[in-house]
A and B are shown apart, each in its own frame.
Chain A
Amino acid sequence: DIQMTQSPSTLSASVGDRVTITCRASQSISSWLAWYQQRPGKAPKLLIYKASSLESWVPSRFSGSGSGTEFTLIISSLQPDDFATYFCQQYHSYPLTFGGGTKVEIK
């Protein structure tokens, strides 16, 4: 199974901050990586697919990059709506696997 490791697990930031979340795969997954946002008690929402393609609803302050084993989610200027938990997920091979999540908290 491909292991996905996210860091940090928790991140405290202020509105307007630039936020960077990293996801590492235990083997190359090319660009077969998705990012999801989950608010408490809610379903995950797809943010980014194929490592860098934004879903239509996603604001441009979000961006994704990387390929192979190293991936990054960046929020260029954190907004109140962005405080949530973010998960990466590989879909290179089964079983699908997720990172442990990064909780973005208000500083």
Chain B
Amino acid sequence: QVHLVESGGGVVQPGRSLRLSCAASGFTFSSFAMHWVRQAPGKGLEWVTLISYDGSNKYYADSMRGRFTISRDDSKNTLYLQMNSLTPEDTAVYFCAREDDDYLDYWGQGTLVTVSS
């Protein structure tokens, strides 16, 4: 049974950094590309970033490129999102999701990031 559990969210001041984690289980983590998607309170879904199954390719939404970094540790079955220079506009629930043939077939329950002074 595929299980994705995000952690690391919380309240952070503008300009500071935060690292999110996504622990995966129930599937061969190293065989799948993984994504981060976020959802601001009461809003729709916004794609953030993708890392390929082997970590060799990474793509970012324009508004996050240069500030956010996706990475993975296959030995720990864990996906990461390093977020720097955070602004209030980054306040959202951040979901990790598994990719299957380019669509997102399993999602975690999300972790809330609040950027506020």
Contacts and interface: CB of A to CB of B under 8 A. Distances in A.
Interface of A: 32, 34, 36, 42-46, 49-50, 55, 87, 89, 91, 94-101
Given A32-B102, A95-B61, A43 B95 contact: yes
Interface stretch (B24-32, B40-48, B71-79): B40-48
A44 B96 CA distance: 11
Q: For the side of the interface on B, what is the size category? A: 20 to 34
Nearest to A43: B107
13 contacts: A36-B45, A36-B104, A43-B95, A44-B104, A46-B106, A49-B105, A89-B103, A91-B103, A94-B59, A96-B35, A96-B50, A97-B47, A101-B44
Secondary structure type dominating chain A contacts: loop
Nearest to A92: B102
Contacts of A45: 107
B95, B103, B107, B109 — most chain A CB neighbours (10 Å): B103
B59 A95 contact: yes
